[in-house]
Amino acid sequence: MSPMLLPQQQLVIQLAKRFPDAIFYKETTERIVALTIDDVPTPNDPDDASTRCILSAIATHNQAIDEAGDRVRATFFIITSHLASGSTILSDIVAAGHEIGNHGIADDNTALQHPEIFSLQLRASHQRLMQDCSQPPRWYRPGRGLYTPAMVQSLRQMDGYEPRFALASMIPIDTFTPTNNPEFTVRYVSQFIFPGAILLLHGGSIANCQNTAAALTRILSLLKRQHYRVVTLSQLWDHVER
């Protein structure tokens, strides 16, 4: 007998059918989810301290996990204009076992851009990431989660990238007031936990990072109690059903 699907899960499945050029979830019956963090790092933040709060929250959770394969890993989607000269945040994210994704040059609605501008900025953001990081990006997430057919064509011309946009199993509301507080974020995100889900939280500002770090402490504990493995987007996408 097939497991009963949550209404949220059913909605995501229907969205994926309507928008085949994007990834919303991974089809699986196993308890595995991807954790993704958008908009990092925070601009003009000395030593990227607020982004490091998110890394620290994950690292603290992992201290209680003996098996390396069970430790939480996340995909951090980077806005390259947020990167400070001389910053080590990209290499530090990778050194902690996480993954780097491309979120463009700026926090814009890229679907409104002229196709040539989008293509140029896509390549420019990729080149900027490769300056500071030895891990080639595999995923691109468009601003506001919106895209056009022309953007799809540009993405498919990028060597090493998946030919579909990396979206998520939820519409994030953790950057708005009053929903950008840890209590609400925990309750909201918990409604979108199901096998193969892609969860999405935000950095990009000190307030967003503080909210995400505080919420993750509880969200990761909840996922552990529910026997979920929390992985990068690549790990989820490459996951083979046992």
60: left (phi over 0), alpha (psi -120 to 50) or beta: alpha
The confidence score (pLDDT) of residue 241 equals: 87
204-233: per-residue pLDDT in tens?
Answer: 999 999 999 999 999 999 999 999 999 999
Query: CA separation (Å) from 22 to 15, 67, 117, 164, 167?
Result: 9, 32, 21, 5, 6
60-80: per-residue pLDDT in tens?
Answer: 999 999 999 999 999 999 999
CB 34 within 8 A of CB 199: yes
The confidence score (pLDDT) of residue 79 equals: 98
The confidence score (pLDDT) of residue 1 equals: 42
141-197: per-residue pLDDT in tens?
Answer: 999 999 999 999 999 999 999 999 999 999 999 999 999 999 999 999 999 999 999
**pLDDT of 2 over the 70 cut:** no
CB 137 within 8 A of CB 160: yes
Mean pLDDT of 52-66: 97
Please state which architecture CATH assigns to domain 7-237.
Alpha-Beta Barrel (3.20)
Longest dimension (CA), the chain: 55
Instruction: Give the H or E element holding residue 13.
Output: helix 7-18
Q: How far apart are CA 45 and CA 51, in angstroms?
A: 9
Q: How far apart are CA 139 and CA 227, in angstroms?
A: 27
